[in-house]
């Protein structure tokens, strides 16, 4: 039963992770579109600031004085930070091979982009080396995960049964009967010591 459950977990992991190369490829395409859009928005802001004789930071500081301007400043700072983060991730993912991307899931952690990819994702048959490697890693990971869960769930019961079995197997200790030791008595007539209970 346990082996069957582990096999199911391994196959599930293999099927799921075998789609990782295709998912990563589609993620990179969407990520490139996100970076392009953010680049255009950042350039417009910088051009407007330059037209006023200011740099980016000076223009951001100028967005203050009211609740609306303060919120606008926070939005623009968040946009610039996201642009820098996604741009760096795109460079790293493009430079990595399909197998190397298996070690870079943290570079594909942008929530909106991942949701867009997942919404339009179409599973593909893993025919590449990266797909086979992903399937193998998924099988091992799924097997190990199910085995660890089952071991954690069954360990307390095994310990309890082992303790009860040890109590049942514990031999009963019987006390030895007392040893009767002969005592010497003295015959009042002969004054010769003899064993009690012995007849002459």
Which residue is listed with tokens 């990563």?
Answer: 24
Residue 102 pLDDT level (bands cut at 50, 70, 90): confident
Question: Exposure pattern of 70-103 as b/e (b: 16+ CB <10 Å)?
Answer: eeebeebeeebebbeebbebbeebeebebeebbe
Judge whether residue 130 has pLDDT over 90: no
Q: What's the CA gap between 77 and 79, in Å, rounded? A: 5
Greatest mean pLDDT range, 74-88, 162-176, 183-197:
74-88
Q: How confident is the model at residue 143 (pLDDT cuts 50, 70, 90)?
A: very low
- Orientation of helix 129-169 relative to helix 20-51, angle to 10°: 120
pLDDT in tens, 20-64: 788 888 999 999 999 999 999 999 999 999 999 999 999 999 999
How distant, in Å, are the alpha carbons of 50, 62, 112 from that of 73? 17, 9, 22
pTM of the complete model: 0.59
């Amino acid at each position: 039963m346990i082996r069957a459950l582990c096999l199911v977990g391994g196959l599930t992991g293999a099927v799921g992770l075998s789609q990782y190369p295709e998912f990563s490829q589609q993620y990179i395409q969407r990520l490139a579109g996100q970076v392009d859009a953010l680049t255009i928005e950042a350039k417009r802001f910088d051009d407007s600031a330059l037209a006023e004789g200011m740099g980016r930071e000076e223009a951001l500081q100028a967005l203050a004085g009211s609740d609306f301007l303060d919120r606008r400043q926070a939005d623009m700072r968040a946009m610039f930070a996201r642009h820098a983060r996604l741009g760096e991730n795109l460079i790293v993912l493009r430079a990595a091979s399909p197998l190397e991307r298996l070690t870079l899931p943290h570079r594909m952690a942008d929530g909106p982009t991942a949701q867009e990819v997942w919404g339009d994702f179409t599973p593909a048959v893993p025919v590449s080396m990266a797909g086979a490697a992903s399937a193998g890693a998924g099988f091992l990971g799924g097997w190990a995960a199910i085995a660890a869960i089952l071991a954690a769930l069954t360990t307390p019961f095994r310990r309890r049964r082992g303790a009860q079995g040890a109590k049942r197997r514990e031999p009963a200790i019987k006390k030895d009967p007392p040893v009767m030791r002969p005592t010497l008595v003295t015959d009042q007539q002969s004054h010769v010591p003899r064993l009690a209970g012995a007849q002459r």
